[in-house]
């Protein structure tokens, strides 16, 4: 870890790249000082690491409580810290950083569910009845979408593809874990990664 040069050109180059995060300590107790928050605003990686260490677990617990999904909570928490790094100039060292982080968390969750709703509505619009005048078009769209998803799945790592296919057939994460001699958490993460890659590919497409 090192402190980014505050030169304007270096800051501009690094502003869109989130610094690498090390594994957080189990019981972080130190709070960031006003000076550390100010240095974070200027691109200090060490201050960013300290912020992550202190708040990553509280944010995961908070989002898990609201979403009932630890896997989703872990994914959204990474998005939150990416946003914090990109928008670090918005941090006010004189205000409560915890309040700021949890505000970003609420906005991130709202944005996630809004996007999910838009995708759901879009897919519903494509679900035309065979009795409508759009039945042929709907069939073609569904066929193209099915082929697109199949291509995405086929390009997944071998183990992730196997796990996703078993999940798609109705196997529980526990059954898959037993069958493949993996932990249930590892299986759930692979399923999450598979679904996310499919969602992202549909959005891009």
- Per-residue pLDDT of 8-17, as tens digits, reads 444 444 455 6
Q: How confident is the model at residue 39 (pLDDT cuts 50, 70, 90)?
A: very high
Q: Which residues pair with 94 in a beta bridge?
A: none
The CATH architecture one would assign to domain 8-115 is: Orthogonal Bundle (1.10)
More confident residue, 101 or 195: 101
As a whole number of Å, the end-to-end CA separation of the chain is 38
Band of residue 6 on the pLDDT scale cut at 50, 70, 90? very low
Checking phi first, is residue 7 left (phi over 0); if not, alpha (psi -120 to 50) or beta?
Answer: beta
135 pLDDT tier (thresholds 50, 70, 90)? very low
Count of C-beta atoms within a 10 Å radius of residue 56: 20
pLDDT at 10: 47
Q: What's this model's pTM, rounded to 2 decimal places?
A: 0.49
CATH of domain 136-204: 1.10.10.10
Instruction: State the pLDDT confidence band at 127, using cuts at 50, 70 and 90.
Output: low
Position 112 scores a pLDDT of: 83
Q: Region 98-107: what's the mean pLDDT?
A: 89
Question: Residue 83's pLDDT is what?
Answer: 87
Computed over every residue of the chain, the mean pLDDT equals 76
pLDDT at 131: 45
pLDDT digits (tens, 9 = 90+) for 50-75: 999 999 999 999 888 888 888 988 99
Tell which residue, 35, 19, 36, 4, has the closest CA to residue 81.
Answer: 19
Query: Which of 28-32, 104-108, 117-121 has the least mean pLDDT?
Result: 28-32
Q: Where in the chain is the domain with CATH 1.10.1740.10?
A: 8-115
The radius of gyration of the chain's CA atoms, rounded to the nearest angstrom, is 21
DSSP letters, 13-57, are HHTTSPPP-PPPPSS--PPPPHHHHHHHHTTBHHHHHHHHHHHHH
Residue 55, phi-psi category: left (phi > 0), alpha (psi -120 to 50), beta (remainder) = alpha
Determine the average pLDDT of the residues in 167-183.
86
For the chain, what percentages of helix, strand and coil (3-state, to nearest 5) are there? 70, 0, 25
Range(s) within the chain of domains with CATH label 1.10.10.10: 136-204
């Amino acid at each position: 870890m090192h402190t980014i040069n505050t030169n304007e050109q270096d800051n501009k180059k690094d502003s869109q790249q989130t610094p690498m995060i090390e594994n957080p300590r189990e019981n972080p107790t130190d709070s960031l000082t006003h000076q550390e928050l100010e240095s974070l605003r200027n691109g200090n990686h060490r201050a960013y690491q300290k912020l992550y260490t202190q708040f990553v677990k509280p944010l995961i617990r908070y989002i898990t409580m609201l979403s009932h999904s630890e896997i989703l909570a872990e994914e959204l928490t990474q998005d939150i810290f990416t946003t914090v790094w990109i928008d670090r100039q918005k941090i006010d060292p004189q205000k409560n950083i915890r309040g700021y982080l949890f505000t970003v968390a609420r906005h991130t969750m709202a944005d996630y569910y809004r996007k999910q709703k838009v995708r759901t509505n879009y897919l519903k619009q494509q679900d035309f009845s065979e009795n409508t005048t759009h039945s042929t078009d709907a069939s073609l769209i569904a066929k193209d979408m099915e082929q697109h998803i199949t291509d995405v799945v086929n390009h997944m790592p071998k183990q992730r593809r196997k796990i996703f296919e078993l999940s798609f057939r109705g196997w529980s994460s526990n059954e898959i874990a037993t069958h493949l001699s993996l932990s249930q958490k590892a299986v759930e993460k692979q399923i999450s990664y598979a679904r996310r890659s499919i969602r992202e590919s549909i959005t891009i497409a």
